[in-house]
Chains A and B, each alone.
Chain A
Amino acid sequence: MAANVKDYYEVLGVKRGASEDEIKKAYRKLARKFHPDLNPGDKTAEEQFKQVQQAYDVLSNPEDRKLYDQYGENWRAVKSGAGAPPPGWEQAQRSTRAGGSRPEGGFDFSDFDFGGFRSAGDEGFDIFEEIFSRAGRGRGARRGRGRDVEAELELSLEEAHRGGRRTLQMQATELCPECNGSGVKDGKTCDTCGGAGEVSRPKTIEVNIPAGVRDGSTIRLAGQGGIGSNGSEPGDLYLHIRLRPHPLFRVNGDDLEVELSIAPSEAVLGAKVEAPTIDGKVELTVPPGTNTGQRLRLRGQGLKKRKGGRGDEYVRMKIVVPKEVSAEERRLYEELQRISRFDPRRNA
C-alpha cells in the first residue's frame, strides 16, 4: 500500500526555507489547477492533488514541518511518541533533501477524500473549525460518521435503459489492521499503511441499477461509503452515472434518435422496413413521399423513465442512392427521368 512520494517541498515547488505565506500561495495555485471538484473524472489531476494536499498538510503545520525537516519520512513515528527514529532515517533524509524520490517506504494516500475515487466526505475540515459544529477535534482526526464517497460508474445505454445488477470492484478505506489506525508499529512508521492509519482494500459491492437512469444521474448507496469510527454509521456511496456513447442511438432526454437508410424507391413508393430500437428491431412503415431528414416517431420506444413510462424513438430518414446500377436499373432510371414531371429545384 505504501507509495513512494516526492519531496514535499518539491511537490509544492517551493524552497526548503519558504515562508508560510509562500507555501500557502503555492498550494492554492496548484489546488486551483488540480482540484478534483474542478476536474471531475480526471484521475491524473486527482492523483496530483492528493500529493499536493499531502505536502501542504505537513508543511503548513509548523510543528509537523519541523519534524519533517528533521526526520524526513519518519516524522510521523517521531510525532506519535513512538521513540527515536528508526535506523537509517538520516540516510533517507539526506536522499530526500538531494531532491530524489524517497528510497523506501513513503505514504499511502488512503486517508484522503479522493483516494481511488471522488469522496464527498471531508476528513480535513480543519479550516471550518470556526464555523462547523464539529470543531475542536484534532487535525486529521477521524470524524464519527464515515465519509460519503463519490464515484463515477460508466454504463452502456442498454444497461441504463434496462437496469439490473452490477458488481463493482472498488477501493475501500479501512483502519489499518497492523497498527489499528495509529500509523505506528514497533516504534516505526507502520509499513502497511505508511503512517496513514488507514489502508485501501479492494471491496466488491453489488449495485442495483434502477431502470431509466441517465447520464448525470446519481445513485445513492446508503452505508457503502467510508467506515465510521467508534461504531458509528458508515457514510454513503454516491455513484454518478456516465453513459457511454452508443453507436446507433443518440439520447435526447427520454427520447432516442436513430438514422435509417432507405432506397429511393422506398422513399417514393413507401415501404415497410425494419428499424432498430433499444429493445430490438421493429417494423416501421415508411409513408410514400418520404424525404431525407424526415423523422418518423415510434411512440413508446424510447428510454424507460425512472418514474414509469417511456420516451419515444425518432427515426431520421436518409435516402441512399446506389453507387453502381445494373443495365436494367439504368434503363429504368432513364425512362423515369424522361417521363417524370418532378422538379426538385422548382422553388429554388
Chain B
Amino acid sequence: MWASDPDLDEPLTLDVVAETVGARRSLVMRLAERGLIETVNSETDGPRLPRRVVIQLRRMQRLRRDLGVNYAGAAVILDLVGRIEQLNRELAEMHRRLQ
C-alpha cells in the first residue's frame, strides 16, 4: 500500500504523531507495539514512526468510528484495500495490454 516515499518517510516521534492525530501517546505506543502501525529504526532514544503512519492512523480512526471495528480490524481492512487497489491497477494494465 505504501511505496517508499521521501515525503512520507520522515521519522516522527510518538509525541508528534499522537498530537497530530489527536490521540494519546499510550495508544500510539500500543498500536506500534502490536505491529499495527509501522515503526522505523532510530539511533536516538525512543521509537520513531514514518509520517505515513499519520494517514494510516487517521484512516484507522475513521474506520473504527464509522464501521465499529477495532484497530486490529481496521489495520487488516486497510491492508486488504491496499492489495485490492494494487490488483485493480495490475488488472487494468493487463486489460490495456491485451487490447
Contacts and interface: CB of A to CB of B under 8 A. Distances in A.
Interface in B44-82: 51-52, 54-55, 58-59, 61-68, 77-78, 81
A70 B2 CA distance: 48
Given A120-B58, A121-B58, A133 B66 contact: no
B58 A131 contact: no
Contacts, number: 93
A220 B7 contact: yes
Interface in A192-249: 210, 214-220, 238, 245
- Chain A: number of interface residues, binned into ranges: 35 or more
Interface stretch (A31-39, A74-82, A295-303, A329-337): A31-39
B68 A128 contact: no
A124 interface: yes
B81 A245 contact: no
Contacts of B33: none
Given A37-B62, A40-B85, A132-B23, A245 B3 contact: no
B61 A125 contact: yes
Contacts of B3: 214, 216-217
A124 B3 CA distance: 29
Interface string A238-280: 1000000100001000000000000000000000000000000
Contacts of A216: 1-3, 5
Interface in B14-64: 18, 20-24, 27, 51-52, 54-55, 58-59, 61-64
Q: Name B's interface SS.
A: helix
Contacts of B52: 218
A128 B97 CA distance: 47
Interface residues of B, number: 37
B91 interface: no
Contacts of A150: 55
Nearest to B7: A220
Residue of B66, B68, B89 contacting most chain A CB atoms (<10 Å):
B66
A94 interface: no
Contact of A35 (B20, B24, B63): B63
A132 B24 contact: yes
13 contacts: A38-B63, A38-B77, A40-B85, A120-B58, A121-B58, A128-B61, A128-B64, A131-B24, A132-B23, A133-B23, A210-B6, A220-B7, A245-B93
Given A122-B61, A132-B23, A133-B18, 15 more contacts: A31-B67, A37-B59, A38-B81, A120-B58, A125-B22, A125-B61, A127-B64, A128-B61, A131-B27, A148-B55, A148-B58, A150-B55, A217-B5, A218-B55, A306-B6
Interface of A: 28, 31-32, 35, 37-38, 40, 53, 113, 120-122, 124-128, 131-134, 143, 145, 148, 150, 210, 214-220, 238, 245, 250, 306-307
**Which 8 residue pairs across A and B have the least CB separation, nearest first?**
A127-B65, A120-B58, A220-B7, A134-B22, A31-B66, A216-B3, A37-B59, A133-B24
